[in-house]
Amino acid sequence: MAENEAPDTKRGRSYPEIIKQFNSLNAKILAVVLVGCLVGYHGILRFKDGSDTCQELLTKGRYQGNNLWQPYGCMIHSLSRIDANNCLRKTRFQTGEDSHWAFIGDSRIRQLYFEILKLVDPEAEPSVIVKDIYGNNLDQLLIDVPFRVSAIATEQTNVYSRPLEKAHSSLTYNNSELSFRMTFFWRPFFNQSAVDLIHQLGLSKSVPNVVIAGSGAWDIKLSNGSDAVLDVYESNLEQVAKAANNWPNRNSKLLWKLQDPVDSSKLSEQRQVITNDLIDEYNEIALRVFQHSRFQIWKSARLVTEGMVTADDGLHLNAVTLKHHVQMLMNMYCNERMGFDDGTCCRSAESATTLQVVTFTILLVCLTISSTWMAYRSFDLRLKQRRQSYRSIENLMEADETEEIVKDVMANGHAVQADSLGLDGKTSTRKAAVKDVESNSRIVVTALGKLGLIMAYFYLCDRTTFFMKENKYYSHLNFWVPIGYVFALGFFFHEESRSTKVLHRDQTDEWKGWMQLVILIYHMTGASQVIPLYMQMRVLVSSYLFLTGFGHLSFFWNGGSASFPRLFQVLFRMNLMTVVICLCMNRPYQSYYFVPLVSFWYLVVYIVLALPPKVSSAICEANPVAYLYIIIKLCSLLAAITILYMSEVFFQAIFLVRPWKALFVTSNDEIHEWWFRWSLDRYSICYGMIFGLLYLNAQKFGLIDDSARHHLLSRTRIRFLVVVAALLGLGGYTAFTITCHSKPKCNEVHSYLAFLPIVSFIVLRNVFGPLRVRYSSFFAWFGKISLELFIGQYHVWLAADTHGVLVLIPNYPVLNVMVTTYILVCVAHEVHTITGQLVPLAVPADWKKTLRNVILFFLALVPIAIHDGMF
């Protein structure tokens, strides 16, 4: 609403003042200050606790519900058997050495040994290591000679009647195919035997990569819970710590597993002396002794156990707890080697590439020039104010700016018009003149400087370990509560549009806005595992493409220009943020799949409608045969899409051609992701174009009337039937999503049914006049920056390229979401503003200048293309 307008009571609740406040500089300054405070806060945390994400994995964490364990500040990947085997093979390939794990302790450490073995090789059984005639283990003989026959029990020499999982003996497992060796050393007491074992392991030829040790329950049991044994236990651990400190191999990971709590109600009579109070005392000794030793205390293992029930005997761990322990160990060992997208624990940050360094250098130079110019302007203005104090501040500013305008205009070789300089003294004329003649280069440098600051924040969030990242966690409550809150706000702020047309600008902005907010919540909560929600999100993405087809066909049909500059203006708006992020974040263009998808389909629409014979409303009215042309074009497009879909070989032959191959492949040089996204919504753009053609002609021939605020259809019976059909369409697709239980099958059908819920929604939204002319100003505002929100979420709202969640405020998830959301919205709005400033400069209305800029852009990409092997 304009400032000089009287308030319209019919417009309902609106929030123009809120929008003005957010659009103001104060909101963005607040976001910058907030980011600065968060950077300082995390800097203090890193200085205090260290930046090692392995430390976070092994010390802190919490349950997120449904027995899902979340380490503190990092993401844990759930390794499958294939992942584990690939990790072991890759370790051999990278280091040229076998992976050697050693487990030292009692039956609870043995449980962990078998659980690791179950993950790596479920069908294997370890070999039992025999004892000598005095009952001493011969396991130390296998440290350097793992296949020593004399120390391994055969079927004849194996005298243990109990199963291996309960055998009081050392065990060994060797897998030459995986280059993996795992040994369990039965040491229920950490006495001199354990000290000698640690010492010998450290000096052996094959020093273990990982050592997991733990003891205490047997000391409590055999001492009958006597406190006198505590001093002996502490002395033994001190000797173990000294032996570990002498290890020459500093790359080995030595973990001391704290004793887990027991369930006294399930313990046998012989184990009743093992109490949690005594276990805590033993753990305190271990914490104190190993505080500054090579052994790292594995605290998070006990935290996992505290939240779970024990096994039936009250002493050992249940299967779920063991799986969490195994996943922590495998993440510790494999994440750095494998580089899992959703595994950031024990993983160092990516190294910056040359392209990233060059990009950030250019942006930094622009920021420096812009800041210097602003500082100079401020200093110069104050200096002149002091020298000419006899003049008023207002006249001084007018004179200064007029003088600079003259300099700028003369420098550019243009004639100076007196009325354009604001010499009449009118403020509005002066401001307009300043705006018109402001240097284009200054705008570009300032915009790029701001973009550089934003990209630096992107990089800090998602390409370093400075800020924390956590796994997504889905629950119905986590998903539906934000949805309800967002829609409550959307319905509260509503206005009456000045347009009465179907899918007018306010309505489409509203549609894009609420869809984008729902998609953000969907991504944040990891709701893709729920098939009905997954399929509904597919409809939302299809709706964007539907609106693209509808909007551009309507533009061309109504006589819009198909000029060369307009083509690149649209592409520039779509791609500026994505291209800059690709350069700064070292990610392929296809990582941000929606932008390539919508850009490709826009090019398709442009080619179909711009190439001769051109068709528009005026042409069809003058020559009805032109209707046949548009029908042939649409049928040809549908046929071409179908042929590409039916022949994946033909599809790859087109999209894997250099140099545009780089636009359609992932970082692994695979085109499957593009094939999946393209095929999933292959007909959506056509549905939008067909709907637009039918709507415009129905409007033209009087079948519908949206020129006023009354209902779209005048006849009540027809209107009723149309509404019922639309409700059946929405209900039918929803029923399909509920009854479909396989994503591949759902995706296969989706492309043929996507139009059904979309058209049904459009009908219900527009058939009634009062509903058609009202819209949510809240959603419409977000709709204007929907593209920037979608791309920005990858790195400053989510984390690890959308596989996790960015954590700026740990331990307060709701507050964290509020802060990250506010920063994301500020970033998206600023990038949207920057894009609007750069469009007329990067893509001028003059086609010759546009062609010049396009050529310069492609020339700038040549070195990158050559480096990446695009030619």
Q: Which sequence positions are flagged as catalytic?
A: 107, 313, 316
Pairing relationship of beta strands 253-257 and 295-298 according to DSSP bridges = parallel
User: What is the C-alpha to C-alpha distance for residues 102 and 99, in angstroms, rounded to an integer?
Assistant: 10
- Is 509 in contact with 784 (CB distance < 8 Å)? yes
Cis-peptide, bond into residue 624, ω within 30° of zero: no
Describe the strand order of the beta sheet including 171-175 as a list of residue ranges: 127-128, 171-175, 180-186, 99-105, 210-214, 253-257, 295-298
In three state form, how does the secondary structure of 430-461 look? HHHHHHHHCCHHHHHHHHHHHHHHHHHHHHHH
Side-chain half-sphere CA neighbours of 372 within 13 A: 7
Side-chain half-sphere CA neighbours of 119 within 13 A: 26
Best CA proximity match to 165, nearest among 319, 381, 342, 364: 319
Six token digits for residue 230: 């505590």
Cα 696-697-701 angle, rounded to 5 deg? 125
- Is 528 in contact with 582 (CB distance < 8 Å)? no
User: What is the C-alpha to C-alpha distance for residues 294 and 296, in angstroms, rounded to an integer?
Assistant: 6
Q: What are phi and psi of 54, to 5 degrees?
A: -65, -40
Per-residue b or e along 752-771, where b marks 16 or more CB atoms closer than 10 Å to that residue's CB: ebbbbbbbbbbbbbbbbbee
Pairing relationship of beta strands 210-214 and 127-128 according to DSSP bridges = unpaired
Pairing relationship of beta strands 69-71 and 180-186 according to DSSP bridges = unpaired
Cα 677-680-683 angle, rounded to 5 deg? 115
User: What is the C-alpha to C-alpha distance for residues 286 and 307, in angstroms, rounded to an integer?
Assistant: 22
Pairing relationship of beta strands 210-214 and 99-105 according to DSSP bridges = parallel
User: What is the C-alpha to C-alpha distance for residues 827 and 371, in angstroms, rounded to an integer?
Assistant: 19
DSSP 368-388: HHHHHHHHHHHHHHHHHHHHT
What share of residues in the chain are helix, strand, coil (percent, to 5)?
65, 5, 30
- Is 344 in contact with 53 (CB distance < 8 Å)? yes
Q: How many of the other CB atoms lie within 10 Å of CB of 575?
A: 21
Could you tell me the CA-to-CA distances from 761 to 409, 619, 766, 782 in Å, in that order?
A: 53, 31, 9, 20
- Radius of gyration in angstroms for the set of CA atoms belonging to the chain, rounded to a whole number: 34
**Residue 64, burial from CB neighbour count under 10 angstroms (0-12, 13-18, 19+):** middle
Best CA proximity match to 757, nearest among 784, 737, 741, 742: 737
User: What is the C-alpha to C-alpha distance for residues 506 and 512, in angstroms, rounded to an integer?
Assistant: 10
Show the DSSP H helices in 225-353 as ranges: 228-245, 276-289, 299-306, 319-338
Best CA proximity match to 145, nearest among 204, 211, 89, 96: 204
Q: Return all residues near 487 (Cβ < 8 A) that are at least 6 apart.
A: 514
Q: What are phi and psi of 667, to 5 degrees?
A: -65, -20
- Is 775 in contact with 495 (CB distance < 8 Å)? yes
User: What is the C-alpha to C-alpha distance for residues 367 and 373, in angstroms, rounded to an integer?
Assistant: 10
User: What is the C-alpha to C-alpha distance for residues 200 and 143, in angstroms, rounded to an integer?
Assistant: 8
